[in-house]
Amino acid sequence: MRTEVSDAKRIVVKIGSSSLTRPDGHLDEVRVTEIAAALARLHRSGKRIVLVSSGAIAAGLRPLGLKRRPRDLETQQAAAAVGQGMLIRHYSDAFAEHGAIIAQLLLTVEDVLRPTTYRNALNTFSRLFRLGVIPVVNENDTTATHEIRFGDNDRLAALIAHLVRADALLLFSDVDGLYTAHPDTPGATRLDRVDDIASLSVDTSRVGSKIGTGGMRTKLQAAEIATSAGISVVLTHVDRFEEAIGGEEVGTFFTPSGKRRPRRLLWLAHAAEPRGRVHVDAGAVRAITKRHASLLPVGVTQVEGAFAEGDPIEVVGPDDLVVARGFAGHGSHELLDALASGDADGALGMHGPVVHRDLLILL
Protein backbone atom coordinates (compact mmCIF):
# COMPACT_ATOMS: atom_id res chain seq x y z
CA MET A 1 0.00 0.00 0.00
CA ARG A 2 1.36 3.41 -0.94
CA THR A 3 0.29 5.54 1.97
CA GLU A 4 2.12 8.53 0.42
CA VAL A 5 -0.68 8.51 -2.15
CA SER A 6 -3.67 7.24 -0.18
CA ASP A 7 -2.98 9.77 2.61
CA ALA A 8 -2.14 12.64 0.26
CA LYS A 9 -4.24 15.70 1.00
CA ARG A 10 -3.35 17.64 -2.13
CA ILE A 11 -3.19 15.75 -5.38
CA VAL A 12 -2.44 16.79 -8.93
CA VAL A 13 -3.84 14.40 -11.53
CA LYS A 14 -2.62 14.62 -15.13
CA ILE A 15 -4.47 12.87 -17.94
CA GLY A 16 -2.71 12.64 -21.29
CA SER A 17 -4.23 12.95 -24.74
CA SER A 18 -3.66 9.24 -25.34
CA SER A 19 -6.02 8.38 -22.45
CA LEU A 20 -8.76 10.71 -23.61
CA THR A 21 -8.82 9.75 -27.24
CA ARG A 22 -10.83 6.99 -28.94
CA PRO A 23 -9.28 4.78 -31.60
CA ASP A 24 -10.76 7.07 -34.28
CA GLY A 25 -8.81 9.99 -32.80
CA HIS A 26 -11.78 11.83 -31.33
CA LEU A 27 -12.41 12.73 -27.71
CA ASP A 28 -13.50 9.81 -25.53
CA GLU A 29 -16.48 11.37 -23.75
CA VAL A 30 -17.14 8.22 -21.70
CA ARG A 31 -13.65 8.48 -20.26
CA VAL A 32 -14.18 12.15 -19.38
CA THR A 33 -17.34 11.16 -17.49
CA GLU A 34 -15.57 8.37 -15.59
CA ILE A 35 -12.65 10.60 -14.60
CA ALA A 36 -15.01 13.32 -13.39
CA ALA A 37 -16.98 10.83 -11.28
CA ALA A 38 -13.84 9.43 -9.62
CA LEU A 39 -12.33 12.86 -8.95
CA ALA A 40 -15.61 14.28 -7.63
CA ARG A 41 -15.72 11.40 -5.15
CA LEU A 42 -12.19 12.14 -4.02
CA HIS A 43 -13.02 15.82 -3.70
CA ARG A 44 -16.04 15.01 -1.53
CA SER A 45 -13.76 13.01 0.77
CA GLY A 46 -11.96 16.27 1.61
CA LYS A 47 -8.91 16.16 -0.70
CA ARG A 48 -7.77 19.16 -2.67
CA ILE A 49 -7.45 18.24 -6.29
CA VAL A 50 -6.09 19.82 -9.45
CA LEU A 51 -6.81 18.11 -12.77
CA VAL A 52 -4.36 18.79 -15.59
CA SER A 53 -6.07 17.50 -18.70
CA SER A 54 -4.94 17.36 -22.32
CA GLY A 55 -7.51 16.51 -24.99
CA ALA A 56 -8.29 19.92 -26.50
CA ILE A 57 -6.88 19.04 -29.91
CA ALA A 58 -8.74 15.70 -29.94
CA ALA A 59 -12.00 17.43 -29.01
CA GLY A 60 -11.54 19.97 -31.81
CA LEU A 61 -11.12 17.41 -34.60
CA ARG A 62 -14.76 16.49 -35.25
CA PRO A 63 -16.19 20.03 -35.41
CA LEU A 64 -13.45 20.96 -37.88
CA GLY A 65 -14.08 17.86 -40.01
CA LEU A 66 -10.56 16.56 -39.35
CA LYS A 67 -9.93 12.81 -39.34
CA ARG A 68 -6.72 12.81 -37.28
CA ARG A 69 -4.45 15.06 -35.28
CA PRO A 70 -3.12 17.65 -37.77
CA ARG A 71 0.61 17.80 -38.32
CA ASP A 72 1.07 21.53 -38.68
CA LEU A 73 1.26 23.68 -35.61
CA GLU A 74 -1.27 26.32 -36.71
CA THR A 75 -4.03 23.75 -37.32
CA GLN A 76 -3.19 22.05 -34.02
CA GLN A 77 -3.56 25.40 -32.29
CA ALA A 78 -6.84 26.07 -34.08
CA ALA A 79 -8.13 22.60 -33.16
CA ALA A 80 -7.11 23.16 -29.54
CA ALA A 81 -8.88 26.53 -29.50
CA VAL A 82 -12.08 24.93 -30.84
CA GLY A 83 -11.76 21.82 -28.69
CA GLN A 84 -10.85 23.34 -25.33
CA GLY A 85 -14.30 24.87 -24.91
CA MET A 86 -15.93 21.54 -25.74
CA LEU A 87 -13.58 19.60 -23.46
CA ILE A 88 -14.30 21.89 -20.52
CA ARG A 89 -18.04 21.74 -21.20
CA HIS A 90 -17.89 17.92 -20.97
CA TYR A 91 -15.95 18.12 -17.73
CA SER A 92 -18.21 20.83 -16.36
CA ASP A 93 -21.37 18.80 -17.06
CA ALA A 94 -19.85 15.55 -15.79
CA PHE A 95 -18.58 17.09 -12.53
CA ALA A 96 -21.90 18.89 -12.03
CA GLU A 97 -23.68 15.49 -12.09
CA HIS A 98 -21.79 14.83 -8.85
CA GLY A 99 -22.37 18.28 -7.39
CA ALA A 100 -18.81 19.54 -8.07
CA ILE A 101 -17.89 22.89 -9.60
CA ILE A 102 -14.83 23.22 -11.80
CA ALA A 103 -12.76 26.15 -13.07
CA GLN A 104 -10.79 26.37 -16.29
CA LEU A 105 -7.18 27.57 -16.08
CA LEU A 106 -5.11 27.86 -19.24
CA LEU A 107 -1.45 28.27 -18.40
CA THR A 108 2.02 27.89 -19.83
CA VAL A 109 5.13 26.55 -18.15
CA GLU A 110 6.46 30.13 -18.14
CA ASP A 111 3.32 31.36 -16.37
CA VAL A 112 3.90 29.14 -13.37
CA LEU A 113 7.56 30.10 -13.08
CA ARG A 114 7.80 33.80 -13.89
CA PRO A 115 7.56 35.77 -10.63
CA THR A 116 4.60 38.04 -11.45
CA THR A 117 2.40 35.48 -13.19
CA TYR A 118 3.37 32.81 -10.64
CA ARG A 119 1.95 34.88 -7.79
CA ASN A 120 -1.28 35.56 -9.67
CA ALA A 121 -1.70 31.88 -10.55
CA LEU A 122 -1.00 30.85 -6.96
CA ASN A 123 -3.60 33.33 -5.66
CA THR A 124 -6.18 31.94 -8.06
CA PHE A 125 -5.48 28.30 -7.08
CA SER A 126 -5.64 29.19 -3.37
CA ARG A 127 -8.93 31.01 -3.68
CA LEU A 128 -10.46 28.24 -5.81
CA PHE A 129 -9.46 25.67 -3.17
CA ARG A 130 -11.06 27.75 -0.46
CA LEU A 131 -14.21 28.07 -2.53
CA GLY A 132 -14.32 24.30 -2.95
CA VAL A 133 -13.81 24.48 -6.71
CA ILE A 134 -11.73 21.92 -8.67
CA PRO A 135 -9.23 23.64 -11.01
CA VAL A 136 -8.97 21.99 -14.44
CA VAL A 137 -5.78 23.05 -16.20
CA ASN A 138 -4.55 22.73 -19.76
CA GLU A 139 -1.74 24.44 -21.60
CA ASN A 140 -2.64 27.68 -23.26
CA ASP A 141 -2.04 26.18 -26.68
CA THR A 142 -2.51 29.49 -28.49
CA THR A 143 0.76 30.76 -27.06
CA ALA A 144 2.48 27.60 -25.79
CA THR A 145 3.63 26.28 -29.13
CA HIS A 146 6.63 24.52 -27.62
CA GLU A 147 4.31 22.55 -25.35
CA ILE A 148 2.08 21.25 -28.15
CA ARG A 149 5.17 19.85 -29.81
CA PHE A 150 6.88 18.45 -26.75
CA GLY A 151 4.02 17.36 -24.52
CA ASP A 152 4.74 19.77 -21.78
CA ASN A 153 1.48 19.08 -19.98
CA ASP A 154 3.62 16.60 -18.05
CA ARG A 155 6.09 19.26 -16.94
CA LEU A 156 3.28 21.75 -16.43
CA ALA A 157 1.54 19.29 -14.10
CA ALA A 158 4.75 18.79 -12.10
CA LEU A 159 5.31 22.52 -11.77
CA ILE A 160 1.70 23.00 -10.69
CA ALA A 161 2.19 20.24 -8.11
CA HIS A 162 5.10 22.29 -6.81
CA LEU A 163 3.07 25.53 -6.95
CA VAL A 164 0.12 24.19 -4.94
CA ARG A 165 2.39 22.20 -2.57
CA ALA A 166 0.84 18.90 -3.60
CA ASP A 167 1.71 15.68 -1.78
CA ALA A 168 1.27 13.49 -4.85
CA LEU A 169 1.32 13.77 -8.64
CA LEU A 170 -0.49 11.08 -10.61
CA LEU A 171 0.34 10.79 -14.31
CA PHE A 172 -2.19 8.79 -16.31
CA SER A 173 -1.31 7.59 -19.78
CA ASP A 174 -1.93 4.71 -22.20
CA VAL A 175 0.88 2.62 -20.75
CA ASP A 176 0.85 0.93 -17.34
CA GLY A 177 4.14 2.38 -16.13
CA LEU A 178 7.74 3.05 -17.03
CA TYR A 179 9.41 0.24 -18.95
CA THR A 180 13.11 -0.44 -19.40
CA ALA A 181 12.54 0.33 -23.10
CA HIS A 182 9.52 1.04 -25.30
CA PRO A 183 6.91 -1.55 -24.18
CA ASP A 184 6.89 -3.11 -27.69
CA THR A 185 10.58 -3.94 -27.40
CA PRO A 186 11.16 -7.65 -26.69
CA GLY A 187 12.35 -8.13 -23.11
CA ALA A 188 11.21 -4.69 -21.90
CA THR A 189 9.97 -4.89 -18.32
CA ARG A 190 7.99 -2.52 -16.14
CA LEU A 191 9.66 -0.88 -13.17
CA ASP A 192 7.55 -0.96 -9.98
CA ARG A 193 9.55 1.67 -8.22
CA VAL A 194 12.19 4.25 -9.07
CA ASP A 195 14.20 5.71 -6.21
CA ASP A 196 16.73 7.68 -8.22
CA ILE A 197 15.76 9.00 -11.64
CA ALA A 198 19.26 10.30 -12.36
CA SER A 199 20.76 6.80 -12.24
CA LEU A 200 18.03 5.18 -14.36
CA SER A 201 19.05 3.51 -17.56
CA VAL A 202 15.85 3.24 -19.54
CA ASP A 203 15.31 3.88 -23.20
CA THR A 204 12.78 6.68 -23.74
CA SER A 205 13.96 7.58 -27.19
CA ARG A 206 10.91 6.20 -29.03
CA VAL A 207 8.18 8.78 -28.97
CA GLY A 208 4.79 7.97 -27.57
CA SER A 209 1.47 7.07 -29.00
CA LYS A 210 0.23 8.65 -32.23
CA ILE A 211 -1.97 10.88 -30.15
CA GLY A 212 0.20 12.06 -27.28
CA THR A 213 3.39 14.04 -27.50
CA GLY A 214 6.59 13.77 -25.55
CA GLY A 215 6.34 10.07 -24.71
CA MET A 216 8.19 8.92 -21.60
CA ARG A 217 10.87 11.57 -21.84
CA THR A 218 8.61 14.37 -20.62
CA LYS A 219 7.05 12.11 -17.98
CA LEU A 220 10.46 11.40 -16.54
CA GLN A 221 11.22 15.12 -16.55
CA ALA A 222 7.94 15.69 -14.71
CA ALA A 223 8.76 12.93 -12.21
CA GLU A 224 12.18 14.49 -11.67
CA ILE A 225 10.73 17.97 -11.02
CA ALA A 226 8.14 16.61 -8.61
CA THR A 227 10.22 14.07 -6.67
CA SER A 228 13.09 16.53 -6.28
CA ALA A 229 10.57 18.82 -4.58
CA GLY A 230 9.45 16.08 -2.19
CA ILE A 231 6.32 15.05 -4.13
CA SER A 232 5.48 11.36 -4.71
CA VAL A 233 4.71 10.42 -8.32
CA VAL A 234 2.75 7.52 -9.79
CA LEU A 235 2.71 6.78 -13.51
CA THR A 236 0.15 4.29 -14.76
CA HIS A 237 -2.59 3.47 -17.25
CA VAL A 238 -5.81 5.44 -16.98
CA ASP A 239 -7.63 2.10 -16.53
CA ARG A 240 -5.88 1.85 -13.14
CA PHE A 241 -7.23 5.22 -12.05
CA GLU A 242 -9.12 4.07 -8.95
CA GLU A 243 -6.37 1.71 -7.75
CA ALA A 244 -3.66 4.34 -8.21
CA ILE A 245 -5.62 6.98 -6.34
CA GLY A 246 -6.39 4.49 -3.57
CA GLY A 247 -2.64 3.92 -3.07
CA GLU A 248 -2.58 0.41 -4.55
CA GLU A 249 0.71 -0.80 -6.01
CA VAL A 250 0.01 -0.23 -9.69
CA GLY A 251 2.24 1.34 -12.34
CA THR A 252 5.57 2.91 -11.43
CA PHE A 253 6.10 4.77 -8.18
CA PHE A 254 8.76 7.49 -8.06
CA THR A 255 10.07 8.07 -4.54
CA PRO A 256 10.34 11.67 -3.42
CA SER A 257 14.00 12.55 -3.07
CA GLY A 258 14.30 16.16 -2.07
CA LYS A 259 12.75 19.13 -0.42
CA ARG A 260 10.86 21.94 -2.11
CA ARG A 261 13.19 24.10 -4.11
CA PRO A 262 12.93 27.88 -4.29
CA ARG A 263 10.85 28.95 -7.25
CA ARG A 264 13.77 30.93 -8.64
CA LEU A 265 15.81 27.75 -9.08
CA LEU A 266 12.91 25.92 -10.72
CA TRP A 267 12.57 28.81 -13.15
CA LEU A 268 16.28 28.58 -13.82
CA ALA A 269 16.15 24.85 -14.51
CA HIS A 270 12.96 24.70 -16.52
CA ALA A 271 12.06 28.00 -18.15
CA ALA A 272 14.87 30.51 -18.25
CA GLU A 273 16.65 31.09 -21.56
CA PRO A 274 20.37 31.22 -20.76
CA ARG A 275 22.04 34.47 -21.88
CA GLY A 276 25.46 32.91 -22.19
CA ARG A 277 27.81 30.15 -21.14
CA VAL A 278 30.95 29.74 -19.13
CA HIS A 279 33.21 26.84 -20.02
CA VAL A 280 34.99 25.34 -17.05
CA ASP A 281 37.75 22.80 -16.44
CA ALA A 282 37.39 19.31 -14.93
CA GLY A 283 38.35 20.51 -11.45
CA ALA A 284 35.55 23.07 -11.46
CA VAL A 285 33.04 20.43 -12.64
CA ARG A 286 34.10 18.22 -9.73
CA ALA A 287 33.86 21.09 -7.27
CA ILE A 288 30.32 22.07 -8.23
CA THR A 289 28.93 18.56 -8.79
CA LYS A 290 30.66 16.59 -6.01
CA ARG A 291 31.38 19.18 -3.34
CA HIS A 292 28.42 21.44 -4.18
CA ALA A 293 30.82 24.34 -4.08
CA SER A 294 30.38 27.73 -5.74
CA LEU A 295 31.94 28.16 -9.17
CA LEU A 296 35.14 30.18 -8.75
CA PRO A 297 36.81 32.24 -11.46
CA VAL A 298 39.91 30.02 -11.44
CA GLY A 299 37.97 27.16 -13.07
CA VAL A 300 36.64 29.22 -15.99
CA THR A 301 38.36 28.64 -19.32
CA GLN A 302 36.11 30.50 -21.74
CA VAL A 303 33.13 32.86 -21.78
CA GLU A 304 30.41 32.86 -24.45
CA GLY A 305 27.62 35.37 -25.06
CA ALA A 306 26.88 38.74 -23.48
CA PHE A 307 25.32 38.59 -20.03
CA ALA A 308 24.99 40.84 -17.02
CA GLU A 309 25.31 40.01 -13.35
CA GLY A 310 22.17 38.13 -12.28
CA ASP A 311 21.42 36.74 -15.78
CA PRO A 312 20.84 32.99 -16.22
CA ILE A 313 23.87 31.24 -17.74
CA GLU A 314 24.96 27.68 -18.48
CA VAL A 315 28.05 26.03 -17.07
CA VAL A 316 29.72 23.78 -19.64
CA GLY A 317 32.30 21.09 -18.82
CA PRO A 318 35.45 20.26 -20.83
CA ASP A 319 33.48 17.60 -22.76
CA ASP A 320 31.08 20.33 -23.96
CA LEU A 321 28.19 19.00 -21.86
CA VAL A 322 26.08 21.44 -19.87
CA VAL A 323 26.52 20.48 -16.22
CA ALA A 324 24.62 23.27 -14.48
CA ARG A 325 22.72 26.47 -14.80
CA GLY A 326 23.14 29.43 -12.55
CA PHE A 327 22.63 33.12 -12.07
CA ALA A 328 25.83 34.91 -13.05
CA GLY A 329 27.74 36.58 -10.24
CA HIS A 330 29.57 38.75 -12.78
CA GLY A 331 28.79 40.13 -16.21
CA SER A 332 30.50 38.59 -19.23
CA HIS A 333 32.68 41.68 -19.87
CA GLU A 334 33.97 41.63 -16.32
CA LEU A 335 34.71 37.93 -16.61
CA LEU A 336 36.50 38.31 -19.93
CA ASP A 337 38.66 41.14 -18.53
CA ALA A 338 39.54 38.97 -15.54
CA LEU A 339 40.42 36.01 -17.77
CA ALA A 340 42.59 38.24 -19.98
CA SER A 341 44.50 39.46 -16.92
CA GLY A 342 45.70 35.86 -16.44
CA ASP A 343 44.75 35.99 -12.77
CA ALA A 344 40.96 35.60 -12.73
CA ASP A 345 40.80 34.76 -9.05
CA GLY A 346 42.96 37.72 -8.12
CA ALA A 347 40.94 40.06 -10.31
CA LEU A 348 37.51 38.83 -9.22
CA GLY A 349 38.17 36.98 -6.00
CA MET A 350 37.16 39.78 -3.70
CA HIS A 351 33.89 40.28 -5.56
CA GLY A 352 32.59 36.75 -5.09
CA PRO A 353 32.18 33.63 -7.27
CA VAL A 354 31.19 33.35 -10.91
CA VAL A 355 28.07 31.51 -9.72
CA HIS A 356 27.23 31.19 -6.06
CA ARG A 357 26.32 27.63 -4.94
CA ASP A 358 22.85 28.77 -3.80
CA LEU A 359 22.16 30.15 -7.26
CA LEU A 360 23.37 27.08 -9.11
CA ILE A 361 21.32 24.11 -10.21
CA LEU A 362 22.93 20.91 -11.45
CA LEU A 363 21.44 19.36 -14.58
Ligand X SMILES: Nc1ncnc2c1ncn2[C@@H]1O[C@H](COP(=O)(O)OP(=O)(O)O)[C@@H](O)[C@H]1O
Residue 182 contact partner, candidates ligand VHF, ligand X, none, CB within 5 to 8 A by sort of partner: ligand X
Annotated binding-site residue? 329: no
Residues near ligand X (CB under 6 A) are: 16-19, 151, 173-175, 178-179, 181-183, 202-204, 206, 208-209, 211-216
Of 124 and 209, CB closest to ligand X: 209
Residue 227 contact partner, candidates ligand X, ligand VHF, none, CB within 5 to 8 A by sort of partner: none
> Could you tell me the smallest distance in angstroms from the CB atom of residue 31 to ligand X?
12
CA distance 110 to 27: 27
Annotated binding-site residue? 317: no
Annotated binding-site residue? 214: yes
262 contacts 38 by C-beta, under 8 angstroms: no
Q: What is the 3-state secondary structure (H, E, C) of the chain?
A: CCHHHHCCCEEEEEECHHHHECCCCCECHHHHHHHHHHHHHHHHCCCEEEEEECCHHHHHHCCCCCCCCCCCHHHHHHHHHHHHHHHHHHHHHHHHCCCCCEEEEEECCCCCCCHHHHHHHHHHHHHHHHCCCEEEEEECCCCCHHHHHHCCHHHHHHHHHHHCCCCEEEEEECCCCCECCCCCCCCCCECCEECCHHHCCCCCCCCCCCCCCCHHHHHHHHHHHHHCCCCEEEEEEHHHHHHHHCCCCCCEEECCCCCCCCHHHHHHHHCCCCCEEEEECHHHHHHHHCCCCCECHHHEEEEECCCCCCCEEEEECCCCCEEEEEECCCCHHHHHHHHHCCCHHHHHHHHCCCECHHHEEEC
Annotated binding-site residue? 343: no
Of 54 and 252, CB closest to ligand VHF: 54
Residues near ligand VHF (CB under 6 A) are: 16-17, 54-57, 80, 138-139, 141, 148, 151, 153-154, 212-214
Residue 331 contact partner, candidates ligand X, ligand VHF, none, CB within 5 to 8 A by sort of partner: none
Of 74 and 320, CB closest to ligand VHF: 74
Residue 274: how many CA atoms within 13 Å on its side-chain side? Answer: 21
Residue 206 contact partner, candidates ligand X, ligand VHF, none, CB within 5 to 8 A by sort of partner: ligand X
CB-nearest residue to ligand X: 16
Residue 316 pairs with which residues in a beta bridge?
Answer: 279, 322
> Could you tell me the smallest distance in angstroms from the CB atom of residue 63 to ligand X?
21
For residue 172, give the nearest of 14, 292, 57 by alpha carbon: 14
Of 166 and 175, CB closest to ligand X: 175
Sign, Cα dihedral of 242, 148, 154, 203: positive
CA distance 297 to 234: 42
Residue 175 contact partner, candidates ligand X, ligand VHF, none, CB within 5 to 8 A by sort of partner: ligand X
> Could you tell me the smallest distance in angstroms from the CB atom of residue 172 to ligand X?
7
Of 82 and 359, CB closest to ligand VHF: 82
Of 15 and 285, CB closest to ligand X: 15
Annotated binding-site residue? 210: no
Residue 297 contact partner, candidates ligand X, ligand VHF, none, CB within 5 to 8 A by sort of partner: none
Of 125 and 179, CB closest to ligand X: 179
Of 179 and 307, CB closest to ligand VHF: 179
Annotated binding-site residue? 228: no
Residue 56 contact partner, candidates ligand VHF, ligand X, none, CB within 5 to 8 A by sort of partner: ligand VHF
Interior/surface letters 107-123, b for 16+ CB within 10 angstroms, e for the rest: bbbbbbbbeeebeebee
> Could you tell me the smallest distance in angstroms from the CB atom of residue 145 to ligand VHF?
11
Annotated binding-site residue? 215: yes
> Could you tell me the smallest distance in angstroms from the CB atom of residue 295 to ligand VHF?
35
Residue 57 contact partner, candidates ligand X, ligand VHF, none, CB within 5 to 8 A by sort of partner: ligand VHF
Q: Which residues are annotated as a binding site for substrate?
A: 54, 141, 153
Q: Which residues are annotated as a binding site?
A: 14, 54, 141, 153, 173-174, 213-219
Q: Which residues are annotated as a binding site for ATP?
A: 14, 173-174, 213-219
